[in-house]
Amino acid sequence: MYSSEVVLNLLKKIKYQGKNLINDDSVLDLLVQEEKIIIILDVDKFDTAAYEDVKSSIIKHLLASLKISADSLKIIFSKEKKIKKESIPSVKKVIVVTSGKGGVGKSTIAAGLAVALSKTMNVGLLDADVYGPSISHLFGIKQKPDMANNKINPILKTGVHLMSMGFLIDEEQPVIWRGPMLSKALFQMTHGVNWSFNDRELDVLIIDTPPGTGDIHLTLATKYLIDGVIFVTIPQLLAVKDTIKSIEMFIELGLPIIGIVENMSYFLESTGLKRDVFGKNKIKLAELEYLARIPLIESIAQAEYIDNNIFSLKDYFSKLAFAVKTFIEN
């Protein structure tokens, strides 16, 4: 992984009209993430005819020095100091639920949180995991959404307005898309959905992201107004370490962190006995608050649909919902 300092030093070697890009204040903003670099250049510093030459020089130099692909590099000519972030139409607050590793129950947590919040708020849940959408399956939804005014109406189930790529493609159909296509799909599911089709704005939209730190996360962090991020992990060493990487990325991007949910924290037997299946998590996660420690319960683990089985975890999700609601209202 390369740091911002490394990229800045490389940009110093690139000159325009005898001056390097850094000393000439030509670089307005620089975002360096594990798999993506975004460079914003001051449009007023360059002749229009020089745009492509400067862009080509940067691409050629960085690709050769960092051994990255062209898809990992984005160069923008702008008059704006920072990348403008936009709100999602008809949505008051946006909460991202993410994880460093797959298989930790992130989508189940996002779904349970949405259901719990819907008791007192108008809530939407967006499944942004384009490669492996699961919200449609968790809520047992087979039908396609309706259209109105050239927008998709979310499907209402268990008090939550739902949108997922799983509604639009066959269950067995693979999605083989790269960065630009993923960003377009995300835009379609945020701006192309009629979130206020019941004539009420959403109080909160929960976005269930793919695991890891990829294009979807970077697009959300740099282009959308996000009110808070929740991280889901299990108390297993490798999962926790990957969660730390994910936390560090979102902190670096300046997003507000709500806290952590430790899922499958322990196995709760029918007798009430607790067993630490993964052992005790002894790693402090950036001094962040644990919003909830949710047990592994057999009925949930074996359940096909969340809406029929979430009630056995109602108290845990109610506590989580209270913490999230308090955060976004303060």
**The overall pTM is greater than 0.85:** no
* CB neighbour class for 54 (10 Å; exposed up to 12, middle 13-18, buried from 19): buried
Quote the pLDDT of residue 160: 95
Residues 141 and 256 in one domain: yes
Q: Which residue has better confidence, 191 or 67?
A: 191
Quote the pLDDT of residue 35: 67
Q: Are strands 155-157 and 151-152 parallel, antiparallel or unpaired?
A: unpaired
74 vs 168: CA distance, rounded Å: 29
Quote the pLDDT of residue 152: 94
Ranking 15-24, 115-124, 260-269, 312-321 by mean pLDDT, the lowest is 15-24
Residues 104 and 182 in one domain: yes
Cα 70 to Cα 2, 41, 160, distances in angstroms: 16, 18, 40
CATH number at residue 116: 3.40.50.300
Residues 201 and 309 in one domain: yes
Residues 99 and 175 in one domain: yes
Residues 130 and 203 in one domain: yes
pLDDT > 90? residue 222: no
Evaluate whether residue 311 is within a structural domain: yes
Q: Are 31 and 213 in contact (CB under 8 A)?
A: no
pLDDT digits (tens, 9 = 90+) for 46-68: 877 778 888 889 999 999 998 88
241 vs 99: CA distance, rounded Å: 11
pLDDT > 70? residue 40: yes
Q: Which two tokens stand for residue 43?
A: 């449009």
Please identify, among 24, 49, 78, the residue that sits at the C-terminal boundary of a domain.
Answer: 78
Range of the domain at 28: 4-78
Evaluate whether residue 313 is within a structural domain: yes
Evaluate whether residue 38 is within a structural domain: yes
Evaluate whether residue 108 is within a structural domain: yes
Evaluate whether residue 20 is within a structural domain: yes
Q: Are 167 and 139 in contact (CB under 8 A)?
A: no
Residues 99 and 30 in one domain: no
pLDDT > 70? residue 30: yes
* CB neighbour class for 291 (10 Å; exposed up to 12, middle 13-18, buried from 19): buried
Residues 117 and 11 in one domain: no
Residues 105 and 236 in one domain: yes
Residues 270 and 153 in one domain: yes
Residues 175 and 62 in one domain: no
pLDDT digits (tens, 9 = 90+) for 70-96: 888 888 877 655 556 889 999 999 999
Evaluate whether residue 253 is within a structural domain: yes
> What mean pLDDT is predicted for residues 32-43?
77
Q: Which residue has better confidence, 273 or 123?
A: 123
CATH number at residue 72: 3.30.300.130
263 vs 295: CA distance, rounded Å: 6
pLDDT > 70? residue 8: yes
Ranking 4-18, 24-38, 113-127 by mean pLDDT, the lowest is 24-38
> What mean pLDDT is predicted for residues 125-130?
92
Please identify, among 44, 78, 112, the residue that sits at the C-terminal boundary of a domain.
Answer: 78
Quote the pLDDT of residue 173: 61
pLDDT > 60? residue 1: no
Quote the pLDDT of residue 90: 96
Residue recorded with tokens 């499944």: 127
pLDDT digits (tens, 9 = 90+) for 274-291: 888 777 665 565 567 889
Structural domains counted in the chain: 2
* Residue 136: band (very low, low, confident or very high) from pLDDT cuts 50, 70, 90: confident
Please identify, among 47, 78, 109, the residue that sits at the C-terminal boundary of a domain.
Answer: 78
Residues 221 and 276 in one domain: yes
Residues 22 and 159 in one domain: no
pLDDT > 80? residue 112: yes
327 vs 227: CA distance, rounded Å: 9
Quote the pLDDT of residue 94: 98
